[in-house]
Structure 1
Amino acid sequence: MRIIRSRTARAVTAAAAVALLAAGCSSERGKEGDSEAGDTFVFGGAGDPASLDPALASDGETFRVTRQAFEALLEHEPGGSKLVGGLAESWESNDAGTVWTFNLRKDVKFHDGETFNAEAVCANYDHWFNWTGTYQSSAVSYYWQTIMGGFAKNEDKEAPEANYKSCTAKDENTAVIEVNEPSANLPGGFSLQALAIHSPKAIKEYEKQEATAKGDAITYPKYSQQAGTVAGTGPFRITKWNKGNKEVTLERFDDYWGKKAGVDKLVFRTIDTEDGRRQALQAGDIDGYDLVAPADIKTLEDEGFQVPTRDVFNLFYVGMTQEKNKALQKSEVRQAIAHALDRENLVKTQLPEGGKVATQFMPDTVAGFSENVKTYPFDTAKAKQLLKDAGESNLKVEFCYPTEVTRPYMPAPQDMFELMKSDLEKAGITVTPKPMKWAPDYLDATEAGSCALHMLGWTGDFNDGFNFIGTWFAGYDKQWGFKEDKVFDAVNAASKETDPAARVEAYKKANEVIMDYLPGVPISSSPPAIAFAKNVNPPKVSPLTQENFAEVSFK
């Protein structure tokens, strides 16, 4: 889900001084609250963004960047998970939850000078609904399909039935979006970066280009891979993406409708190791970074850095793709893998204080968490016996894991992989490691179901149980490669329940059904820490990792 830079007052080496000049030196800092100063705030990210168009993405590193430039109809309150107005000042639905009316903000401009209005909203939703070709791949349009279903004309046989019906500009400042069936994904889905609003002028340029695919490899359209075309309404506009230096540069948008950003420039720089990010902060090369290694928190605090910890709102899991691995279709094998993994040890050694062993596919901070799910405690002997019972004592599996990234639920991917690989091998499972670059290779491969075992996770987009279990188990998904109506029916029954209390109980039941079937192994939940320099006024930290860097300024 979802990067910052800091400087210290102490002397730096000549090499570091050069880096300071490149990123914006301390002499450029303005007085506190002086938004006219030419300040540059540099944030260290754990991975490259996949796209400058958030509609084509599903990962937090992309959304961290695009969130500063694009706004959705709804947002979340700063530092919390309560829905508040975004580009819509207010909203309401009919009793059935199928007609959503948005009263839009006035006097809002896009970065390219176009005017925001109801027609712009509908231009976006109709653009997504009418996607064709590779755009219909779940690896490209994941969030659209999750929230709104399929398309005006489904070309991909695996695309879900469309739930989006229409968007109407009732008047200049009133947009009405209709869906066919009520969904637990709404209204939360209207807050997603993937459904953020773009300039209609930019959309016309988007539609001249195509995404293409060769096997599992996706080639994204040119407009999404370089600055210059994308245009939102946010407090910053994207002006440069230097892929060679792994940097995205954004500049303050002075015609922004709300409070202007506290810095003139915002730079996201990819530093793909925890040590690298920490050292860059300590040297003054960056002003902040995310996903602080648990072992580094106290060190940084003792040195005077600011290291706030977010509330737990994520889940880390080992996924199993059954369709391409017959052994994983056997429940005894899936149970053996679950019993083989020492999750307590992983939490103790890899996560910050407050990390928890997961028992189901949502954290206990989400309503719908069940105390009655079937559990699979660490037991190597039992794992071996289950494999024997299944006739798979010599099981061999390929296990994919990501490189060049750190995630809120996954502080050190390779270290976590090595622990789990060792656990599986102790149970007699031969593991073939397959490391892959996070974006786009790993994300595309896991989405396409190319890995027998893989490690992934989820930071909630909004506070509803369906945003967790519905993300994976509302229907057939290539990532998991199974068809089990008992699971799908339980999850969907919960999503269609309109009474809030009954919905929570339905989520509990769905969690119990999921863990009885065991499509994968929920591992842990983690409270990710984020670090800032001493001279930074940081933004409010978000449990959803949705920090707004327009709130940043220098002391």
Structure 2
Amino acid sequence: MFKKSFLIISIVMIMILSAFVTGCVDKQNAGDAAAKTLIYGRGADSISLDPAQVTDGESLKVTRQIFDTLVQYKEHNTEVIPALAEKWEQSEDGKTWTFYLRKGVKFHDGTDFNADAVVYNFNRWMDPKHPEHKGGEFPYYAYMFGGYLGDDGHVIKAVTAVDAHTVKFELNFTSGPFLNNLAMPPFAIASPTAVKADPVEFNQNPVGTGAFKIAENGWKKNDAITLIKNDNFWQKGFPLMDKLIYKSIPDNAARFTALQAGDIDMMDGMNPDDSKTVKQNDALALHIRPGMNIAYLAFNTEKKPFDNPKVRQALNMAVNKQGIINSFYANMAEPAINPMPNVLWGYNDSVIDYEYNIEKAKQLLAEAGHPNGFEVEFYAMQDPRPYMPNGKKVAEYMQQDFAKIGVKTKIVSYDWQTYKDRVGKGEHQMALFGWIGDNGDPDNFLYVLLDKDNTRTPDAGNISFYRSEPLHSILIEAQRSTDQSARSALYEKAQDIIKKDAPWIPLVHATVPEAARSDVKGWRPHPTGSEPLYNVSISK
């Protein structure tokens, strides 16, 4: 009787929530054979499907299915293995990389993948004067390769086709993270023919070499993205599903209810407390995504009073991180001390966190000239993120602690795309944000998120707009070294500087629970936040 009542309640809840959210998916209408359709529930829609133009995980988890990179990561870590390139070699001076490409690979539009296509993509991204350098700001390229062609710190000197299936990268200087960077989804290879047809609208009509391609009229904004099988995928026998649907259901509870009812097959953005329910339900399976992430509160150091380090340090002392973990993460997180997780090499274990001490925080504020505190807008995301399942509730919790030191906050929230746009332009005073590591290299956290190079708007990676010359010198030296031991020592020094200057409050590193129907096979969540789903199936 209990199970039947629960089922009725679940169905009613879904019907009600669908009127306000996005509704349920009728699996009978999702494809010719329901068993060949996989439905992935998530908290927000993609921003763009041109991977070179985005930094958000909701976009990249979809483009990861449509496109391929030259190299890729292993299934369970960030070790680099072949993809569109079968093998590669590096020159003795470390400045030239040669990649030998797979033969017979086709883009979804039937055109050939070859060395010219690789050259075209990199030139489009790196050269602001390229005729198809359009459709966005290509932010990740600048983050990972030191800007664009002509910038002093630009890593890549030239990309040339040696022959139809060999491509050469010449670098201006050695780059420790270069190979790992190439495996990142933003550097996937697109069809030159499709991009040239309309470089702006390409983000709606992506064409890659991946296991899935976008269906005709396959993107219904804020609802669903439908991908269909690529019958000519270069990995023979894959994908195992005919159709892959990404369904946007912003409310975590509604998404979990849809999973329990069988309207979706897998989901992310689960409330941590719901992991107990998953474990007790034989029809469901709990999946844990390794916590290569950081949730943080960024202070816009270009705006008063956050131009004063003492103010930033005071607010660090006013946050009860363990209380946040207990209240919103079901203890599936650990307090963050540094801007990178301790699962990465180069982590500085000797850095001591600011203590949670309201009286000392008040004293520091007084020393900074704010004995009675101040008023400030506090940006908090309304959509769930893997590193922060409920940003508004976390903000409200922190709001109470800040009030204890006289800092009155007005919480401001927007949909995910608007939120990213506004913080990327620096419109905030302070903002909750987070990051999921892309490549397993400390450079991807410290340089991308805190170096002065990445304060470029409108897509700043460093949303604290923190500029430190000593930090910059260390991060560039580390980036241009190929000795991991030397790089590790430099990153440890960098973390000392960051802790003292306090451009952030590092909050937590989350262990991310996700769930699927128990008949979903082959899904293994990757530390980077996105994984290919060509080998995932439903056994019914």
Deviates more, 1:237-246 or 1:189-198: 237-246
> Which digits, 9 at most, give the CA deviation of each residue in 1:279-329, with x for residues without a partner?
110111111101221100010221121011122211111111111x12111
Q: How far apart are the structure 2 equivalents of 1:173 and 1:489?
A: 38
Q: Which amino acid in structure 1 is aligned with residue 208 of structure 2?
A: G
Q: How far apart are the structure 2 equivalents of 1:381 and 1:134?
A: 58
Q: Percent identity?
A: 30
Out of 134, 141, 158, the residue aligned to residue 144 of structure 1 is 141
Q: SS where residue 457 of structure 1 aligns?
A: strand
Q: Which amino acid in structure 2 is aligned with residue 140 of structure 1?
A: E
Q: How far apart are the structure 2 equivalents of 1:150 and 1:23?
A: 48
- What stretches of structure 1 of length at least 5 have no aligned partner? 1-9, 31-38, 155-159, 208-220
Judge conservation of contact 1:319–1:521 (CA < 8 Å) in 2: yes
Judge conservation of contact 1:81–1:462 (CA < 8 Å) in 2: yes
Counterpart check, 1:268 vs 2:265: no
**In the TM superposition, what is the alpha-carbon distance from 1:532 to its structure 2 partner?**
0.5
The match for 1:174 is: 166
Counterpart check, 1:288 vs 2:285: no
Q: How far apart are the structure 2 equivalents of 1:468 and 1:352?
A: 25
Q: How far apart are the structure 1 equivalents of 2:61 and 2:197?
A: 24
Judge conservation of contact 2:146–2:453 (CA < 8 Å) in 1: no
**In the TM superposition, what is the alpha-carbon distance from 1:92 to its structure 2 partner?**
2.2
Out of 300, 307, 310, the residue aligned to residue 289 of structure 2 is 310
> Which digits, 9 at most, give the CA deviation of each residue in 1:415-446, with x for residues without a partner?
1111112211122101121111111x111111
> Which digits, 9 at most, give the CA deviation of each residue in 1:391-416, with x for residues without a partner?
1233222111112x222211111111
Out of 367, 379, 389, the residue aligned to residue 400 of structure 1 is 379
Q: How far apart are the structure 1 equivalents of 2:289 and 2:498?
A: 28
**In the TM superposition, what is the alpha-carbon distance from 1:494 to its structure 2 partner?**
2.0
Q: Which amino acid in structure 2 is aligned with residue 514 of structure 1?
A: I
Counterpart check, 1:233 vs 2:209: yes
Judge conservation of contact 2:144–2:444 (CA < 8 Å) in 1: no
The match for 1:3 is: none
Q: How far apart are the structure 2 equivalents of 1:372 and 1:19?
A: 49
The match for 2:535 is: 551
Counterpart check, 1:329 vs 2:321: no
**In the TM superposition, what is the alpha-carbon distance from 1:97 to its structure 2 partner?**
2.8
Q: SS where residue 444 of structure 1 aligns?
A: helix
The match for 1:483 is: 467
RMSD after superposition: 2.5
Deviates more, 1:412-421 or 1:237-246: 237-246
The match for 2:512 is: 528
Taking a change above 3 Å as real, the CA distance of residues 14 and 339 of structure 1, as seen in their structure-2 partners, is closer
**In the TM superposition, what is the alpha-carbon distance from 1:364 to its structure 2 partner?**
0.6
Q: Which amino acid in structure 2 is aligned with residue 511 of structure 1?
A: Q
Judge conservation of contact 1:56–1:141 (CA < 8 Å) in 2: yes
Q: How far apart are the structure 1 equivalents of 2:94 and 2:388?
A: 36
> Which digits, 9 at most, give the CA deviation of each residue in 1:110-152, with x for residues without a partner?
0000111111100100111223599989983210101223334
Q: SS where residue 328 of structure 1 aligns?
A: coil
Out of 487, 502, 505, the residue aligned to residue 518 of structure 1 is 502
Judge conservation of contact 1:474–1:492 (CA < 8 Å) in 2: no
- Map 1:38-57 to 2 at 5 A: 39-57=36-54
The match for 2:406 is: 428
Taking a change above 3 Å as real, the CA distance of residues 112 and 364 of structure 1, as seen in their structure-2 partners, is same
The match for 2:19 is: none
Q: How far apart are the structure 2 equivalents of 1:185 and 1:111?
A: 30
Judge conservation of contact 1:70–1:196 (CA < 8 Å) in 2: yes
Q: How far apart are the structure 1 equivalents of 2:362 and 2:313?
A: 10
**In the TM superposition, what is the alpha-carbon distance from 1:24 to its structure 2 partner?**
4.7
Q: How far apart are the structure 2 equivalents of 1:334 and 1:245?
A: 36
Out of 75, 79, 86, the residue aligned to residue 78 of structure 1 is 75
Counterpart check, 1:185 vs 2:177: yes
**In the TM superposition, what is the alpha-carbon distance from 1:473 to its structure 2 partner?**
2.4
Q: How far apart are the structure 1 equivalents of 2:324 and 2:154?
A: 40
Q: How far apart are the structure 2 equivalents of 1:185 and 1:171?
A: 26
Q: SS where residue 289 of structure 2 aligns?
A: coil
Taking a change above 3 Å as real, the CA distance of residues 134 and 397 of structure 1, as seen in their structure-2 partners, is farther
The match for 2:459 is: none
Judge conservation of contact 1:346–1:419 (CA < 8 Å) in 2: yes
Q: SS where residue 294 of structure 1 aligns?
A: coil
Q: How far apart are the structure 2 equivalents of 1:276 and 1:436?
A: 20
Q: SS where residue 80 of structure 1 aligns?
A: coil
Q: SS where residue 461 of structure 1 aligns?
A: coil
Taking a change above 3 Å as real, the CA distance of residues 294 and 14 of structure 1, as seen in their structure-2 partners, is closer
Q: How far apart are the structure 1 equivalents of 2:147 and 2:111?
A: 29
The match for 1:210 is: none
Q: SS where residue 436 of structure 1 aligns?
A: coil
> Which digits, 9 at most, give the CA deviation of each residue in 1:178-224, with x for residues without a partner?
221222331111011111000110121244xxxxxxxxxxxxx3331
Q: How far apart are the structure 2 equivalents of 1:150 and 1:402?
A: 28
Out of 315, 319, 342, the residue aligned to residue 364 of structure 1 is 342
Taking a change above 3 Å as real, the CA distance of residues 260 and 243 of structure 1, as seen in their structure-2 partners, is same
Out of 439, 448, 454, the residue aligned to residue 471 of structure 1 is 448
Q: How far apart are the structure 1 equivalents of 2:454 and 2:319?
A: 24
- Map 1:381-392 to 2 at 5 A: 381-392=359-370
The match for 2:438 is: 461
**In the TM superposition, what is the alpha-carbon distance from 1:506 to its structure 2 partner?**
1.4
Taking a change above 3 Å as real, the CA distance of residues 150 and 138 of structure 1, as seen in their structure-2 partners, is farther
Taking a change above 3 Å as real, the CA distance of residues 21 and 480 of structure 1, as seen in their structure-2 partners, is closer
The match for 2:116 is: 119
How many residues are treated as equivalent by the alignment? 514
Counterpart check, 1:203 vs 2:195: yes
- What stretches of structure 2 of length at least 5 have no aligned partner? 1-6, 16-22, 456-462
Judge conservation of contact 1:109–1:255 (CA < 8 Å) in 2: yes
Taking a change above 3 Å as real, the CA distance of residues 196 and 109 of structure 1, as seen in their structure-2 partners, is same
**In the TM superposition, what is the alpha-carbon distance from 1:98 to its structure 2 partner?**
2.0
Q: How far apart are the structure 1 equivalents of 2:166 and 2:46?
A: 33
Judge conservation of contact 1:352–1:526 (CA < 8 Å) in 2: no
Q: Which amino acid in structure 2 is aligned with residue 92 of structure 1?
A: E
The match for 1:340 is: 318
> Which digits, 9 at most, give the CA deviation of each residue in 1:445-476, with x for residues without a partner?
11111111011111111111111111122324
Q: SS where residue 119 of structure 1 aligns?
A: helix
The match for 2:233 is: 256
> Which digits, 9 at most, give the CA deviation of each residue in 1:499-540, with x for residues without a partner?
111111111111111111111111110111111112221412
